[in-house]
Amino acid sequence: MKSLDGLKVKVKSLGCRTNIYEAEAIADSFRKKGAVIVDDGDFDVGILVSCAVTGTAEKKCRQAIRHMKKESPKSMAILCGCYVQAKPDAELLSLGADICVGNRLKADLPRLVEGVIKGELKSPLVMKLDVLRHEKWDPLELSKVNFHTRSFVKIQDGCDLFCSYCIVPYLRGRPVSRDLRDVIAEVEGLVDQGCQEVVLTGVHLGLYGKGHDFDLADLVGALSKVKGLRRLRFGSIEPLALNDKLLVALAESEIFCPHLHVPLQSGDARILKLMNRGYSPVEFASIISNVRRYLGDDVHVSTDIIVGFPGEDEAAFASTLNFIRDLGIGRLHVFPFSPRKGTRAYDMPGRLQKCEIANRVNRALEEGGKLLQRYASIWMNRKVDVLIERCKGSKLLGLSRHYLETEIDWDAKGNLPERNYKGLECKVCVAEARHGILYGALSDIKDLLSERGV
């Protein structure tokens, strides 16, 4: 009999891909102890993996933990992650959580829950590390595939670059890396269960291996040899991490998908300097040019920008939009500046009014829609490889290797046989691109049927 047999546990995450991985790994750690992971209905333990990167994220965390308490009033409520790291104990306890656990301690959650249930620990309980002083790797791991076509794998945590607007180093701590052999073993286990695609995640992926005798390029090379793994992606990669060694490894990998999400934040030299990003627009453009030299002109480069940073005038904002347009960016993520107490940008002069920031966000999103459609259009009348994720009526839906949503017609009559095609990679003839989504038909239906044994 396992120590948490039959305990019903619900796990929810807010924020980044790293949080998504941690939520899945936390659920897995409880499952190994005999708990039952639930999505709906009553539960005995509710766990929220929190985010505090912006004020809006913090508000969502407060709402989510209160909603969790209302969903199942008699349950044990657990708040973990960045919000816990950011807030004083009194404020955390006011939310009504029974256990609050900061970063790099999430692997302890099953033990803590068991201790409270047995009366060995008293709640409410708050546990935090000084993450700026402790270089501890939180030994979470994932052994069960939750999304059979794709799985996130966390390989890195922390950052020491201290961009002037960013609270993350204070919440996640300094850079730490997961052992290369542990990453390979986890990926092999996921592939054995049917996982087709792995997305490597971390707070600053490019710092993977810092202080060790391996780096991200070494890991890419090793994972490219894992039998049965068909696709490898990065969640996000900072521009200065894209050195020649890494780009060579990506170019030589047969499974790396040619999409890189490379955060820019601003296309204006003055604002970038205030942000302490460590590069200029000219240097960023040179990096992207080098990416295309190694990975080809068709590589999909997506990015983030922060709108409304203190001192950003209309000219600086226009420079950013012109820069990403000229650079051939595909997907664009837009974030309004969120002042975070404790960062240098918090006290900078020239803070914009919320209405002006909202206006610029909308303009940037409109430009982003045009950029994505422009990039998607280059695939018209070409064949793309698509990993099928689900069926919808007479359509197959999936992602191309270049990270574009794709909708596939089964045949001229629109008839889709009642079979499971999830996890199958097939070639699609693209006939149309609308709003950044590709539409087309299977290149060869016989190949699809034969691979499924039909």
**Ordered strands of the 76-81 beta sheet:** 36-37, 8-13, 45-50, 76-81, 99-101, 125-127
Q: Is the pLDDT of residue 450 over 90?
A: no
- Kindly provide the b/e burial profile for residues 21-44, where b requires at least 16 CB atoms within 10 angstroms of the residue's own CB: bbbbbbbbbbbebebebbeeeebb
Confidence at 443, pLDDT banded by 50, 70, 90: confident
Residue 324: both structure tokens together: 């990403």
CB 173 within 8 A of CB 103: yes
CA distance 334 to 368: 8
Least confident of 271-280, 395-404, 438-447: 438-447
State whether CATH 3.80.30.20 applies to domain 150-376: yes
Give the torsion through C-alpha atoms of 282, 288, 289, 291, to 10 deg. 150
Sign of CA dihedral 192, 195, 196, 198: negative
Confidence at 447, pLDDT banded by 50, 70, 90: low
Q: What is the pTM of this model?
A: 0.92
Which alpha helices (H) appear in 72-164, and where do they start and end?
Answer: 82-86, 89-93, 109-117
Please state, rounded to an integer, the average pLDDT across all residues of the chain: 92
Confidence at 136, pLDDT banded by 50, 70, 90: confident
CB 332 within 8 A of CB 324: yes
pLDDT tens digits along 320-372: 999 999 999 999 999 999 999 999 999 999 999 999 999 999 999 999 999 99
382-451 adopts what CATH topology? OB fold (Dihydrolipoamide Acetyltransferase, E2P) (2.40.50)
Closest CA to 55 of 442, 372, 400, 354: 354
Residue 123: both structure tokens together: 């709640």
Residue 15: both structure tokens together: 């924020």
pLDDT tens digits along 74-86: 999 999 999 999 9
The pLDDT of 157-172, averaged and rounded, is 95
Q: Is the pLDDT of residue 389 over 90?
A: no
Q: Is 270 exposed, middle or buried (0-12, 13-18, 19+ CB in 10 A)?
A: middle
8-127 adopts what CATH topology? Rossmann fold (3.40.50)
pLDDT tens digits along 17-36: 999 999 999 999 999 999 99
Asked if domains 8-127 and 382-451 share a fold, the reply is no
Backbone angles phi, psi at 397, to 5 degrees: -120, 140
Confidence at 215, pLDDT banded by 50, 70, 90: very high
Structural domain boundaries in the chain = 8-127, 150-376, 382-451
The pLDDT of 46-64, averaged and rounded, is 94
Over pLDDT 70: what percentage of the chain?
Answer: 94
CB 359 within 8 A of CB 314: no
Residue 400: both structure tokens together: 């191309």
CA distance 8 to 45: 6
CA distance 21 to 19: 5
Residue 59 CB: number of other CB atoms within 10 A?
A: 10
Closest CA to 225 of 254, 259, 194: 254
Residue 22: both structure tokens together: 């941690």
Residue 391: both structure tokens together: 């069926």
Which alpha helices (H) appear in 87-179, and where do they start and end?
Answer: 89-93, 109-117, 168-172
The pLDDT of 38-49, averaged and rounded, is 92
Closest CA to 14 of 70, 43, 52: 52
pLDDT at 98: 93
